[in-house]
Chains A and B, each alone.
Chain A
Amino acid sequence: MTALVAQLEIHDRGPDTEQSCVASDGFCPGWIVDHIDRYLHPLWQHVYLSLISVACGFLIAFALAVLAHRRRWLVGPIVGITGVLYTLPSIAVFFLLQPITGRGALTAIIALTAYTLLILFRNIVAGLENVPADAVDAARGMGLTDRQVLWRVELPLAVPEIVAGLRIAATTTVGLATLAFFAGAGGLGGEIFAQITFKSNVVVAGGLCLALAVAFDVALLLAQRLLTPWRTAGTARA
């Protein structure tokens, strides 16, 4: 029989400061700087979950809103149904979906998408509704078809309200995606949960969530500026 060639190195954990800060679950800037890379993959998962969910939610809500814009009676039922989806706690939905869709990103994305629908639908509908009737009449007078009126007049004018809805949906989704690890989809929540007593970890992972929400918010604001050049021009003159 051979004995082990090499042995596991037993570290002496003396009371030196940096070590004891980490060992005692403290807030340790040095550790954070050295270990920031461990958060990159969960951050990417978080970005992925949030982006896909908001994008899917937007496509669905947009289609529903355009449909309901011409058929007003649809607004009530759609708000009712998406309202219930919005009320269901996402952590419950993550588990309710698992018997059907299993564990993984798909389950998380379905739940997060469902959550965004009400916010987005309401804002898109409100945006379309608030378009000045004069503008629509003028467009019709110029001979634009219904479809042209929608795409060339109503939607551009509704952009501010649509973007406002997207901003709420995006920040909320980033927050809720911290629970996606319960559905087996990873994300920054998994990191928080993995070492919930370690202050440095909680602060970094939680902080990254906040930063991500802010980044999405700023990005959407910038997008709005680019999409509505006439508004910035107007304010510049005023």
Chain B
Amino acid sequence: MSRFGDAIDFLLHAREARSGGTEVGGAQLLPMLWTHLELTAVSVAIAVAVAVPLALWLGHVGRGELLATSLANVGRAVPSLALIAFFVAYLGVGFTNVTLALVLLAIPPILTNTYVGVRQADRDAVDAARGMGMTGVQIVRRVELPLALPLICGGVRTSVVNVIATATIAPLAGVVTLGDPIIAGGVYGEDGRLGAAILVALLAVAAEALFALVQRAVVPRGIRLTHTPHRRHRTMRRTILALLALLVLGVAAGGCGSDDDEGGAAGTAAAGATDAATQAAASSDRIASNPDNASTTIVVGSKNFTEQKVLGEIYAQALAAAGYTVKTELNLGDEKTALKALEDGQIDAYPEYTGTALLSFFGVPTDELPKDPAAAFEQVRTRFAEDGITALPPTPFTSSNEVAVTRETAERLGLTTISDLADHAPDLTLYGTPECRQRLDCLLGLQEVYGLDFKRFVPVDPALRHEVLANGDADVSIVFTTDPQIERDDEVLLEDDQGMFPPYNSTLLVKTSLLEQAGPDLAATVEAVNRGLTDEALQELNARVDLDKQTPAEVAEAYLRESGFIE
């Protein structure tokens, strides 16, 4: 239960991000909370402005019953994720697009409730009003609307709660709401993820309670007697009691203290598998299945972008071909999340880039970064060995972060190097992954090494890194060297003239204890398949996923087959 305590602590106190650099949690959550509320308020306000007049009119003239009722049913069935995804795919990311999607989500309950409210308005009251000589507009304004108001509020209440829930996935579309710690995970840690989930839950319950009060308050005095106020009272009280219970539970969980058991010092490293590896690889390219390996289970993980998933699949399938029992846990998240999963034993291995390890894990300052791939790997290997993790020999390919602009931007501003951005950065918007903010090979480095001060930084899911350039949301985006979209979209990569990026060869990180248990075939297999992973090969493999839309599993199998590792 202490995890809930830590999560509450995250909400109350700011702390250093897991990757160092900035602070997260506590007061740092306020801008996200604000965006969350702003997004909700704007979307529901627009929905009310559209749906209420329309439904009042439909209800008044008694038309469109089918529309009003079936809209509610269809609205319920449309998955919010699909709706957001649809807007991202067709219109791009950003506040406006997400707002539009949420407006669509918010309209059905309001429209249906308003319509039903008007239709259910006491016909005698309406007839009396007409008899008194009221015009249509007067009847709507003075009779039907007041009588329908409680139901309209009920519809708004449903919409607000729905929109608060759905705004949680808005970070997928580049809007940083309280969902960011939940979806981006890594930077904020597990406490942040859980803390944000608690906050979103409380927000929804609070909104529900607030609107229940409003709904009670707007019941016209004339018809209040016909309702049974004491029952509403009790429901209200129960909701508040339940809310309090939830809080108490949280605080109690927090009081349970922090009995974290930090993983003890792991055994010393021993990496003697490399000799066996070269021997095995020399004999044949075909991976031989060794029945002795079946007793070893290896869980292969990966981070959350195409190249990582492909690499993860390649290792998983190759090791399976060598006879190991293999499971995969691909798409874990950013580098911190993946490393934590490895340290915690959730996975046994995952591919990491030497440059990422040097900068994000070991905090090597820019002026001490090795330029030579072998030196970079050696440094990474030595550092990891201390933690009971073995870095297997790296791939030939290197895939670095790159600073990309469209050709149009490059030509307009005369950009060829990152330093050229200096004069223009205050007018430019940079897009990158959420962890970019804390990475020396990303926003942090651009600020500290190049002294760039961008107008705005917008965090997005790595899947959108080219999309945001193409549709004009981003002026500058952080991409990867081996991305096939660079050629497709005719993007220009700015040269790293200050040497901010170290070499980024990929090395499979394996728990040393597992490596010893698994025998020589593990390292030998990995080394064998690594040899074909050149710059050219990775561009091709990424292109098969990102351009041809094959799955990482299919692409990995094709690589192993075409290279002769499996039949």
Q: Which residues of A contact B (CB under 8 A)?
A: 1-2, 4-11, 13, 19, 22-25, 31, 35, 38, 76-77, 79-81, 83-84, 87-93, 95-96, 98-99, 168, 171-172, 174-179, 182, 188-189, 192-203, 205-206, 209-210, 213-214, 217
- Is B79's CB under 8 angstroms from A4's CB? no
- Is B201's CB under 8 angstroms from A195's CB? no
- Is A84's CB under 8 angstroms from B246's CB? yes
Which of A8, A172, A175 has the most B CB atoms < 10 Å from its CB? A8
Nearest 6 pairs between A and B by C-beta?
A80-B238, A206-B82, A89-B165, A213-B77, A178-B79, A23-B547
Distance to closest chain A CB from B406 (angstroms) = 15
A11/B540 contact (C-beta < 8 A), A89-B165, A203-B86 known: yes
Closest to A171 in B: B77
B1, B282, B285, B463: which contacts A5 (Cβ < 8 A)? B285
CB contacts (< 8 Å) of B467 on chain A: these are 25, 197
Q: Which residues of B contact A (CB under 8 A)?
A: 1, 3-4, 73, 76-83, 85-86, 88-90, 161, 164-165, 168-169, 172, 179, 182, 193-194, 197-198, 200-201, 204-205, 208, 231, 234-235, 238-239, 241-243, 246, 282, 284-285, 331, 461, 463-464, 467, 488, 531-532, 536-537, 540-541, 543-544, 547-549, 551, 559, 562-564
Closest to A5 in B: B564
- Is A99's CB under 8 angstroms from B4's CB? yes
- Is A174's CB under 8 angstroms from B77's CB? yes
A214/B200 contact (C-beta < 8 A), A80-B239, A192-B85, A197-B467 known: no
CB contacts (< 8 Å) of B531 on chain A: these are 4
Distance to closest chain A CB from B227 (angstroms) = 15
Distance to closest chain A CB from B262 (angstroms) = 17
Distance to closest chain A CB from B72 (angstroms) = 9
- Is B79's CB under 8 angstroms from A175's CB? yes
B161, B243, B548: which contacts A23 (Cβ < 8 A)? B548
Closest to A11 in B: B540
Closest to A31 in B: B549
CB contacts (< 8 Å) of B4 on chain A: these are 99
In the docked arrangement, what's the CA distance between A73 and B491, Å? 67
- Is B164's CB under 8 angstroms from A89's CB? yes
In the docked arrangement, what's the CA distance between A91 and B235, Å? 25
A95/B197 contact (C-beta < 8 A), A2-B282, A196-B461 known: yes
B205, B239, B331, B536: which contacts A10 (Cβ < 8 A)? B536
Seed contacts A91-B179, A206-B82; 20 additional CB < 8 Å A-B pairs = A8-B537, A11-B544, A22-B547, A76-B235, A81-B238, A87-B161, A87-B204, A87-B205, A91-B168, A91-B182, A95-B182, A96-B197, A174-B77, A178-B81, A196-B89, A196-B463, A197-B467, A202-B89, A210-B78, A217-B77
- Is B562's CB under 8 angstroms from A9's CB? yes
- Is B81's CB under 8 angstroms from A189's CB? yes
In the docked arrangement, what's the CA distance between A9 and B76, Å? 47
Which of B1, B165, B239 has the most A CB atoms < 10 Å from its CB? B165
- Is A4's CB under 8 angstroms from B548's CB? no
Name 15 interchain pairs, CB-CB below 8 A, sorted by A: A4-B285, A4-B564, A10-B537, A11-B544, A23-B488, A24-B488, A83-B238, A84-B205, A84-B242, A89-B161, A89-B200, A93-B197, A95-B197, A192-B81, A206-B86
A10, A177, A197, A217: which contacts B89 (Cβ < 8 A)? A197
A84, A88, A179: which contacts B239 (Cβ < 8 A)? A84
Closest to A38 in B: B551
Distance to closest chain A CB from B243 (angstroms) = 7
- Is B464's CB under 8 angstroms from A197's CB? yes
Distance to closest chain B CB from A165 (angstroms) = 13
CB contacts (< 8 Å) of A196 on chain B: these are 85, 88-89, 172, 461, 463-464
In the docked arrangement, what's the CA distance between A83 and B237, Å? 12
Distance to closest chain A CB from B43 (angstroms) = 15
- Is A199's CB under 8 angstroms from B81's CB? no
CB contacts (< 8 Å) of A205 on chain B: these are 82
In the docked arrangement, what's the CA distance between A199 and B193, Å? 29
- Is A92's CB under 8 angstroms from B168's CB? yes
In the docked arrangement, what's the CA distance between A44 and B537, Å? 34
In the docked arrangement, what's the CA distance between A83 and B169, Å? 23
CB contacts (< 8 Å) of B284 on chain A: these are 2
- Is A171's CB under 8 angstroms from B194's CB? no
A197/B488 contact (C-beta < 8 A), A88-B201, A174-B79 known: no
In the docked arrangement, what's the CA distance between A209 and B76, Å? 12
- Is B85's CB under 8 angstroms from A202's CB? yes
- Is A92's CB under 8 angstroms from B86's CB? no
In the docked arrangement, what's the CA distance between A24 and B3, Å? 43
B88, B193, B541: which contacts A95 (Cβ < 8 A)? B193
- Is A8's CB under 8 angstroms from B547's CB? no
In the docked arrangement, what's the CA distance between A6 and B564, Å? 6
- Is A92's CB under 8 angstroms from B198's CB? yes
CB contacts (< 8 Å) of B83 on chain A: these are 206
- Is B77's CB under 8 angstroms from A79's CB? no
- Is A92's CB under 8 angstroms from B532's CB? no
Closest to A214 in B: B77
CB contacts (< 8 Å) of A22 on chain B: these are 547-549
In the docked arrangement, what's the CA distance between A88 and B364, Å? 43
In the docked arrangement, what's the CA distance between A25 and B201, Å? 35
Closest to B560 in A: A8
- Is A96's CB under 8 angstroms from B563's CB? no
